[in-house]
Amino acid sequence: MEITVTTAEQLRLTADEFELIKQKLGRTPNFNELCCFSAMWSEHCSYKNSIKWLKTLPREGKKMLVKAGEENAGLMDIGDGYGVVFKIESHNHPSAIEPFQGAATGVGGINRDIFTMGARPIASLNSLRFGNLKEAKTQHLLAGVVHGIGHYGNCFGVPTVGGEVYFEDCYHTNPLVNAMSVGILKNGETISATSGNVAGNPVFFVGSATGKDGIGGASFASADITEDSAEDLPAVQVGDPFQEKKLLEACLEVMKTGAVVGMQDMGAAGIICSTSEMSAKGGAGMRIDLDKVPTRQKDMKAWELLLSESQERMLLVAEKGKEQAVIDVFEKWDLPCSEIGEVTTDGMLRFYMHGELEAEIPAHELVLGGGAPQNDRAYSEPKYFDQIKAFNPDSIAVPSDLKSVAEQLVQIPNIASKKWVYVQYDSMVGAGNSSTNAPSDAAVVIAKPTNKALALTTDCNSRYVFADPYKGAMIAVAEAARNIVCSGGQPLGITNCLNFGNPYDPQVYYQFVQSIKGMGEACRKFDTPVTGGNVSFYNQGPEGAVYPTPTIGMVGVLDNADAKMTLDFKEDDDEIYLVGVQRNDINASEYLHKIHSVEYSPAPHFDLDEEFELQHEIKKMIDKKLISSAHDISEGGLLITLLECGFNRNKGFDVTTTDHNIRKDAYWFGEAQSRVVVTVSKQNRDDFNMLLEKMEITVTYLGTVTGGAITIDGESWGNILNWKEKYDNAIGNLLAGHESESALSSI
């Protein structure tokens, strides 16, 4: 067939990119080669519209062992001779079309990135965004995604220990499904994703056989979601967690044979991605016989084999002469293992079918940092900023019945318990989650075989980022660090999943650029370098782009698991303190957005230096064992924080307003940052007060913990059990009361 610019555009390449490909090859590519460029130069694989700004993020640190972009995931030192490997990635578009498999394969893919490096995954987290929960489509997507995550993670044997779920209208068409995995390995035992540069070393295909599912998935991830996207269903992969469990064990075992030169997951873009990236890293090439690839469908064409994203597959390069050691391991685990080619040293990828050359491409020209385009996009301030700047809080009357407002607030899906979601996840399978029965701001898992623990969290309030991308992204990093610190940990590093709309829209690109700038500044302040992550553009629908959502996955370290701090009130008469400053601020709050239907308002108060000092002092209180609980103030403000502290042990509180110059709704429901609620026991009061005398940060006495009764400014607000019932059942009641309930039960 004749290859023209029209062919290229049908494969989601631009006319300029087609001309660039012809220049690099010195000829017009054939169809197989053009398909390879289409996949590898997609936004999903090449980061062509983001790499310029990603390079500005801090990637250096004294605990960094493997930097961003060097391997499948980042690696940081946790001491005692061990490292933590962690990464977060998106599977948004597949989940929008086929929520169960889209979410399940997202979990599978991110776990493969971890164990391909030689680490055993010990924990999973996620960050999920959906549309209005009252709508049937949202309920269908929520049910499918949660079921997919739970099914894959539970069967694979890695506990899901944390995450977040938000519901906003802008995610109606395009939900966000971000999956994070965390693993542990012994330092020095990392396996690299490289081909090496020794001619004749054998290339193995290991894992599940290849089918037509997932073909073009990388390009699909770089396209807009439309009403016709269901026709792209073949682009959604199908996963098998039991097969992945066998692949995990086989990979960890084969690494110990000493036969492995390098290994990489066949994720986005399949064989063409793993062969090109491993070859480019090794400064080598490969000769591959595609007809030797194990398949589960007959008569697959060369381009289908190259681009298939069938799950649970790896590309492995072994040392020549040690082939049998590799074969024996995969035969033991009853997994396909086929020698499909060999390493060459001329930098060329040559793919054959039954002896016929089907494609010939320089590996370097396909990959990020090689020949893939690096665009410099224009950006401009979004027009809606005018509406944000025009917002006047005085236009919102302070409600006379705060209790009634609070009852509405506690049942808003963004605030209410996500119990309906997390009961479908196994938080204990395969590893020790030390926070299951003692809630904390971050999940705390034991880092076996060390005596240390890891504090893990995913965070981003995308409405803050929408209001102010620079400040909002800083807040996302700061809240993640705050959650780690409030759980007793020391922040170590971050991975990010950057979810935005179309990068060719200057206003969307402005959101992206400013978010990167804010994220970078906050990471430098907290000494939490970026270990890697994922950029996901084109998250939008007919109604427009989603909120800019730079999700932060953060890992922290506790030198001893017993040092963890929990968020729940412990004993009656414990004193309750607010660490941080109360502010006259209702901006971008759930209260303002959901109760008063205000879409445009500035981001809440945030000062990076103030936040840094707050976390330093909280860490000091925990290290000195002066406080009994710590819980940061986030969505819903001070009142919701107090309620959440009471739920676990059914404790109430007797508190009073301490600053009558602040409007009452801002005092109780405002979301100004850099505030933490702590409690102090009777025996620690003197030592705590002595510490306060040496602190420059504001600490305010609020009241005491009670046996269940809630009293605010002398007024009875009932019992904690009444509030707990509303909080726990709000999401379940919404789902059960909707006409789409039958759709949920069919998942």
* Residue 358 included in any domain: no
DSSP letter string, 208-219: SPB-STTTTHHH
Q: Which domain holds residue 32?
A: 5-40
Q: What is the pLDDT of residue 430?
A: 59
Judge whether residue 740 has pLDDT over 60. no
Judge whether residue 584 has pLDDT over 90. yes
- What is the rounded distance in angstroms from the CA atom of residue 23 to the CA atom of residue 4? 14
The residue type found at 491 is: P
Judge whether residue 428 has pLDDT over 70. no
Report, as residue numbers or ranges, the catalytic residues. Answer: 44, 91
- What is the rounded distance in angstroms from the CA atom of residue 2 to the CA atom of residue 23? 18
- Least-confidence region, from 241-250, 404-413, 673-682: 241-250
Q: Is the peptide bond before 449 cis (omega within 30 degrees of 0)?
A: yes
Q: What is the pLDDT of residue 266?
A: 87
pTM for the model stands at 0.94
* Residue 19 included in any domain: yes
* Residue 35 included in any domain: yes
* Residue 228 included in any domain: no
Contact status, residue 569 vs residue 629, Cβ threshold 8 Å: yes
* Residue 24 included in any domain: yes
Judge whether residue 523 has pLDDT over 90. yes
- pLDDT mean over 574-600: 98
The residue type found at 390 is: A
Kindly calculate the radius of gyration of the chain based on its CA atoms and give it in whole angstroms.
26
Question: Strand 313-318 to strand 260-265: parallel, antiparallel, or no bridges (unpaired)?
Answer: antiparallel
Judge whether residue 747 has pLDDT over 60. no
* Residue 11 included in any domain: yes
Mean pLDDT of the chain: 92
- pLDDT mean over 35-51: 92
Q: What is the pLDDT of residue 71?
A: 79
Q: What is the pLDDT of residue 429?
A: 62
Measured in whole angstroms, the distance separating CA 136 from the mean position of its chain's CA atoms is: 26
DSSP letter string, 9-56: HHTT--HHHHHHHHHHHTS---HHHHHHHHHHTSHHHH-TTTHHHHTT
Degrees, nearest 5: CA angle 690-608-554: 95
* Residue 22 included in any domain: yes
* Residue 595 included in any domain: no
Q: How many folded domains does the chain comprise? A: 1
Judge whether residue 649 has pLDDT over 70. yes
